Structures are given as structure tokens and as C-alpha cells.
Amino acid sequence: MTADLPDILQSWFATRGWNPHRHQLAMLDAAQSGRSALLIAPTGGGKTLAGFLPSLTELISEDPLPAGLHTLYVSPLKALAVDIHRNLEQPIAEMALPIRAETRTGDTPQSKRVRQRKKPPHMLMTTPESLALLLSYEDAPEIFSSLRCVILDELHAIEDNKRGDLLSLGLSRLHALAPQARRVGLSATVAEPDRLRRWLSTTGHAKGVQLVLGEDGAEPDVKVLETRAEMPWSGHMGAHAVPEIYEQFKDGGTTLVFVNTRAQAEIVFQELWRLNEDKLRIALHHGSLAVEQRRKVEAAMVRGDLDAVVATSSLDLGVDWAAVDLVLQVGAPKGATRLLQRIGRANHQLDNPSKAVLVPANRFEVLECRAALDAIHAHTLDGIPERPGGLDVLAQHILGMACAGPVDRDALFAQVRTAGPFARLSREDFDDVFNFVGTGGYALGAYDRFKRLRENEDGLFEISSKTAIRDYRMNVGTIVEAPTLKVRMGRGRVLGEVEESFVNYLTAGDTFVFAGRLLEFVEVRETSVITRPGKGDAPAVPAYVGGRFPLSTHLADRVRTILSDPTTWKNLPKQVTEWLEVQRWRSLLPSREGLLVESFPRHDKHYLVAYCFEGRNAHQTLGMLLTRRMERAGLNPLGFVATDYVLGVWSTKSPENADLAALFSEDMLGDDLEEWMAESSMLKRTFRNVAVIAGLIQRRHPGEEKSRRQVTFNSDLIYDVLRSHEPNHVLLRATRADAASGLTDVRRLANMLARVKGQITHRHLDRVSPLAVPILLEIGRESVYGAAIDELLGESADELISEAMENIGTKELGFDAA
């Protein structure tokens, strides 16, 4: 097969002492027969070169060198695009090839961007958002007419989300502009390669895309840390194990320490420094830190200047480090696929095993880590339910296409259906979205005179104003960030960004840990949080939103299996088996298929604990629905708390004699769910994202803050009005689809209720069971989810009043309030 490799490339491989990998040649073979291909290989298998090799071959073989754009490379990360560009420049320079490669991202200067459109390079490295912008220019057909290849990197990280929808729609447009271009997908190991093949194809069928598998590396060497400390009953930080973590990388070589949240990253980092007597070079990396800071850490890592990095999912993707010797996962992995990808960050030489250690943060997490280990040994990964493309993303794409030039509605519909996630889009949905873009799509037709898209005499739709084009370009993309403020040291250096909602909690003098330091909050000035070095060592830790993934269905299943079968406990630490043994003696062990529910009194309240193992999101939804039912049954529920494993509800009446089959029956997913979903703040947040992506409301941009009260709308108000006047509006449909597929995990809850039907075991106990301790400890620590706003307001007023009464006796509050 090497015969197909041009001499110059063959000798380049030879001078480096390399032989092309089998999968690299297979990719070349696919390209030479004009086929699109998907390469699935672990990191470090020469995956990127495999993607570019066919393009280099084509450009070398064609004489004279063709002008115009030949290969487009799209990465979900700006930094990765830059890094790949740098890596590609090396062989180009070494072979003295006249090939021009450039990067185009949000950071590219305006003058260079203009030049790139006039005279495109042979190879362009970009992001999904920059591609969408390029496609919205009138000259897009000229730019892309010569395109021969599109390379999509880290496809596994983007395929099942809205950025993937946007990219896929961009590809459908590219296919119309350059039908000759083949597609190349590069992905880490996934459960269902055919999904990615369907996503890549223009027909919705996997067959059209050749699957190439990289060489399997050696089996990873993974252990679960057995702590010397007392295994915590609850909590997710893993701070108890920090001394042992430190020992791991003291003699483990360069270590990557993955954690699950940014708050956890700060704590683990802080604790490690406290122990760092050997002056190891330890760094911190998470998504809230200033970009320059993150780049510095990455560069130091590449140079081999660091002993360890504590990181969140901010390092799941991206720059390749050959030098990582050990990966630590602190806190439960939540899913087998993600864990495997993280472990794959260690030791990129394929013949050496990746080494990893899992560090559970509490007792339940020990079971989860064990389950993940079993999954890795059994080579089973997490399947993800397929979701149709977002209608909000489609709206953005339609507007973008109208910015590029007059749109033929029927042709655009046909084009959109060649995008994998939209292959089954109905004409009705398309028309509704199209009308939304044009006139808002309201039944009233009130805006027919203010059209955003106007039909011309040829029946094509043109954009009606420059404002609309500007708004599109300012708002492109599907990532809707929570509003953030910059964190500054004094009035100087920016350390990073925190969510506005976090800053709302701070009063002057409060301390918090950020960017590895203890900071004292001084004040908010404009869009910055002004801080100074804090004193003492008891910070109020940042409660960052997000960063938590729910337990995957696959791992949950394995956890239930372990729990139900004591013969599998031999691999568990003694503290954990003792805990389970006492549970077995005092109550019951949860079974694999059924549902164990315990109830018991404690102090003046009654508790009901359900061992569902369906993840936080599903449990929160269940908690909301269950408490409604309990209320109707007269049990007087007061609140609930949900973890990934368990749901706990407390009430004033004992559920001892409650009809659990009725309480947990499937029909709770009917009216109650509808009603709750419509009211819930979760749905309102989802709507906000949908409304921003679809272009109904504008993003906030830096510098516009002062006038934002005039131009931004409270999306909750729009949601309420739309819901009462046009409940079937396309954006509400898009919101419900998002909620059903992701946030609330309704589908998962439905499957569980169906599974446990007729298999619910209720144990009434005289006191708390061992297995119930962790959830009781969560009460008060977790903010109680779903309690009605009014109740919180009422309670807050009560608390404040009683506090005030204690201090000032019975003095009237306020002035004339009755």
C-alpha cells in the first residue's frame, strides 16, 4: 500500500525512523477511492497525521500545486486548532512543501480574516463557530468551491450536542458548495461507531462512511485507591485522600489529576500544596481560569516542566502530551466512556499500558469506581440515546444562510436533511422554524409588516435589514454561557472568571479559593470582582454551576449488580463491605431489577429513601413528582434531596403504611410532569438558551453592560407569555425536546418506573439504615431542590424575622407595615 505514498513523504517517514501505521494507510486508501472515512483510535496513535496524510499526498501529487482551499480542519477547541496547525507546519517545513496552512478562530485579526477570504490558504484550521460565520458571507461559494476534504477532529466530543448540530448544518451547506469534498472524522473510542458514521454521511446511512480502527493499545492498568483514612459517608471532594494522591505522583512521574468540578479542583489543589514538602511542580487547570493562565500551564506541560496538573474536563480534549505517566481520577467517574478517554491521556506509546488510579470520594463512589473498572475490563461503554437536531440551531443556520444570499426555501429544506441530526426533520417543523426566522412565526401574524426575511419576485427569501445580519454575526454559536464577571487581584491582573450567581453570595470580607489562592472579596466594579489576598484558611468555596455529569445508565446498572450480589464484594475495601453487611443485617440490599424503599422516623420527622441509582437529574424530577403525590396522599412532605444514587424525602407524617406501588406508578409522568415541567426553573433556563441560540434574544456582549437593561429581555417573561398564548410555538417545542432528552432525564425515569413495577420492596425501620446515612448527610448541604419560590421567600422572611426578634425583642419591623 505504501506505493500510494509519494516519495517525498516516504523519505520523510524514513528520516524520522517511522513507518506509516496501518490505519494511516487505510485512511489514505479510503481517500484515494474518494470515500469519506471515520477513524477511531486512542490518543497518541498518530490520529491527526492519519487525517492529514491523504491531503498532503494529494497536494504533493498535483502539479502544479492547485490554488484555493483544499482542506478544512474543524476542531471543537481553538487551542487544538492552533496546536494542530503548528504540528502540521513541521512536516511542511521539513519537506519544503509550498503548502500554505493557516488558523482562523475568534482570535484571528480582522485584516487576516479578510485576506483569508480573498486568498484562502490550502489548509485552514478552524472551529464550528468560525465555519458558520464564514458560510454566512456572500463569497462563501467562491471560498469553498475548490474544497476537497473536511477533517472533523474530536468528533466524539461534539456529535451529540448542539455544537455538533451547528457543525453538521455547516457541513450540509459545504456539501452543496463543494459536492466533491470527502469527510474525515477523527474520534476517541466510543460505544457506537455507527452513530458517528451516520452523523458524517450525507445520506443518513452509516454505509457510505468507511470505518477505520486504530491499533488497540495495551490493556490499561487501572486501580481503585484503597484509602487508609476513614472512607467518607458523603461529599464529593475526595479531600480525605489527598495525602495518598500526593504519594501517587511523588513516584508516579508526570501525573494528570482529573476531578469533576472546578470547586473540587480548587480544593484538591489547595490541599496538595499544603503537603508539598518536596516542592513538586503542581499546576491547576479549569475552565474559569484566565485563558493566558491555562495556555501557560499547557505549554509547561508540553515542555515537561510540571510534575502534576489538577484539571477538570477542561483537559479532556486537546493538546497531546506524550509525557503523561499516570492519570488519577478523583471522585466517581460517572461514565465508563469518559473515564476511558481520560485514562487514554496517559502514556501515548501504544505498546505500554496507560496507568490510572481511581480515587472515590465516598462509600457509594467506591461502588461506582469498582463498576467502572469492571466496565473497562469488559470493554463495555456507555451508550447515549440519540437525539434529533435542535430546532433552535436550525433557526440560527437558516438566518446565517439568508445572510449569505437569497434562500430557496425548498432547496434549503433538502440541503438541511442531508445533515445527520436533521435527516428525519419533517417539512412542518422546517416550515415552522423558517417562519419563526422570517416573522417570528406567531399565529397572530402581527409581524407580517416587520419581516426579517422578505420574499423577492423570484420566490427567494432575502434578509431585510443590515441590523439582522449584524445581530446574526454577533450571536453565532450554540454555547450560552452563564453571565460571568472577571476576578481581579486589586485593580490589576485578571485571574479568571466566575459566574455572576456566585458573586451574588459574597459580601465584602468574604474569602474564597480561586486560581489556587485564598482571595478576599472587596467589591464589584463594573464587570470585575475586585479581590485581595485573603487571610486565614477557612474559605467559602466557590459554588460553581455545572461541571457535574450524572451517573451513566450503564454504570448505574453495574453498581446495582455489585450491591445485589455479595459474591462480587471481595474486591471492595473492608470499610465498604462492613457497611454493606450491616445494611444486609439491618434492612435489605437493593436488588438488581427492583426498587428498595426504606422509611424510618428520625427526630420529629419521617424519612423515605428510595435506592433508584438513576442519576441526579432523574432523581430530582422524581423527587418533585413524588412529593406532589405524597402531599395528595396526606403524608405532608416537607422537602427532598437527590444524589446520583438515592432520593430522600422527609415528611411530618409517617409513610409506614403508604401504598408505594401507587406512589411510584408510571402515571406520575402524565399531568403532574407536564405541569411541573412548565413551571420549573429548569425549563425556563432551557428556554433561555433556546431563545438565545434561535436569535429571539441577544447575547450579552462585553461593553454593552450599561445599556443592557434597555435591550435585553427577561426570557422568563417571554416564556410565560408564549406559554399562555402559543403553547405550541416552535421555540417551546425546542425547549421541551431539550428537556426531555437531557436536563431532566425524563426518559430515564420512565424506564426505571416501568422496570420496577411490581418489584418495589418497602422496609419500614425504627431508625436510619446504614445505606441511608449518606443521603441524610446531604440534607442541608445541598440546596433543597425544587422547593417553591414562595416557600423559600416565606421561610427567609420567617428566619429573618425570628433572628430580628431575638435581637431586638418585639419591636415592630419597618414602619407602617401591618
Partner 1 sequence: MPPERETRRTTVPVTIGGQSIVLDHSGAAFLPETDDLLVADLHFEKGSAFAARGQAMLPPYDTAETLRRLEKVIARVKPARVICMGDTLHDLAGDARMSESDRNRLARLVGRQDWVWIAGNHDPAPPEGYGGTAAEELRVGDIVLRHDVERGAHSEIPAGVVIGHYHPKAAVRARGRRISGRCFATDGRLLILPAFGVFTGGLNAREPAIAGLLKGDFQVFMIGKNGLFGFRREQLIPDPKRAA
Minimum separation from the CB atom of position 634 to partner 1 (A): 12
Q: CA-to-CA distance for 126 and 108, rounded, in angstroms? A: 10
> How far lies 518's CA from each of 270, 272, 535, 538, in Å?
9, 14, 7, 9
- Nearer CB in complex with partner 1: 369/775: 775
Least CB distance from residue 685 to partner 1, whole Å?
13
Binding mask 697-716 for partner 1 (x = CB under 8 A): xx------xx--x--xxx--
Examine residue 195 and tell whether it contacts partner 1 (CB under 8 A): no
CA distance 100 to 123: 6
Q: Which residue in 107, 219, 667, 798 binds partner 1 (CB under 8 A)?
A: 798
SS3 assignment, position 643: coil
Question: Taking CB under 8 A as the criterion, which residues in 724-783 touch partner 1?
Answer: 724-726, 729, 783
Residues 661-700 that bind partner 1 (CB under 8 A): 695-698
Residues linked to residue 484 through DSSP beta bridges, in sequence order: 499
Give the x/- contact pattern for partner 1 in 391-430, rule: CB under 8 A: ----------------------------------------
797 binds partner 1 (CB under 8 A): yes
Assess 538 for contact with partner 1 (CB under 8 A). Answer: no
Site for partner 1 in 279-338 (CB under 8 A): none
**311: Cβ contacts below 8 Å, ≥ 6 apart:** 256, 257, 258, 259, 265, 284, 285, 286
Q: Is residue 787 near partner 1 by the rule CB under 8 A?
A: yes
Name residue 213's beta-bridge partners: 40
Secondary structure E strands in 196-342: 209-213, 221-224, 255-258, 282-285, 308-311, 326-330
Distance (Å, whole) CA 568 – CA 305 = 42
HSE at residue 746, side-chain half, CA atoms within 13 A, is 19
Question: Nearest distance from residue 224's CB to partner 1, in Å?
Answer: 33
The DSSP output letter for 443 is T
Q: 740 vs 79, 636, 673, 736, 743, CA distance in Å?
A: 33, 29, 11, 6, 7
526 lies in the binding site for partner 1 (CB under 8 A): yes
- Please, what is the minimum distance in Å from the beta carbon of residue 703 to partner 1? 12
C-alpha to C-alpha distance for 5 and 412, rounded to whole angstroms: 39
455 counts as binding partner 1 under rule CB under 8 A: no
Using CB under 8 A as the criterion, what x/- string covers residues 625-664 for binding partner 1?
Answer: --x---x----xxxx-------------------------
- Please, are residues 649 and 640 in contact by the beta-carbon 8 Å criterion? yes
Smallest separation, CB 643 to partner 1 (Å) = 17
Mapped onto helix, strand or coil, the DSSP state of residue 331 is coil
Which string of x and - marks every residue 234-263 that binds partner 1 (by CB under 8 A)? ------------------------------
Q: Which three cell numbers stand for residue 343?
A: 485514562
Q: How far is the CB of 706 from partner 1 (least distance, A)?
A: 6
Q: Which is nearer to partner 1, 542 or 770 (CB)?
A: 542
CA distance 98 to 64: 11
Looking at 212-220, 463-471, 586-594, 668-676, which segment touches partner 1 (CB under 8 A)?
Answer: 463-471
Q: Which residue's CB is nearer to partner 1, number 378 or number 793?
A: 793
For partner 1, which residue of 107, 115, 450, 532 counts as binding (CB under 8 A)? Answer: 450
All three cell numbers of 576: 465498604
Site string for partner 1, 483-522 (x = CB under 8 A): --x--------------xx-xxx-----------------
Nearest to 440, CA basis, from 738, 726, 739: 726
| Beta pairing partners, 359 | 330
Per DSSP (E only), the strands in 548-636 are: 595-602, 605-611
By CB under 8 A, name the one of 142, 320, 455, 471 that touches partner 1. Answer: 471
Nearer to partner 1, 325 or 720 (CB): 720
Q: How far is the CB of 334 from partner 1 (least distance, A)?
A: 23
> How far apart are alpha carbons 739 and 689 in whole angstroms?
11
Question: Distance (Å, rounded) from C-alpha 398 to C-alpha 402?
Answer: 6
Applying CB under 8 A, among 788, 807, 810, 811 the residue interacting with partner 1 is: 788
Cell of 173: 451547506
Angstrom distance (rounded) from CA 421 to CA 418: 9
Min dist CB 271 to partner 1, Å, is 24
Using CB under 8 A as the binding rule, the residues of this chain from 424 to 443 that contact partner 1 are 436, 439-442
Q: How far is the CB of 676 from partner 1 (least distance, A)?
A: 12
* 380 vs 464, beta carbon nearer partner 1: 464
Stretch that binds partner 1, among 118-126, 315-323, 325-333, 723-731 (CB under 8 A): 723-731
Contact 579, 749 (CB under 8 A): no
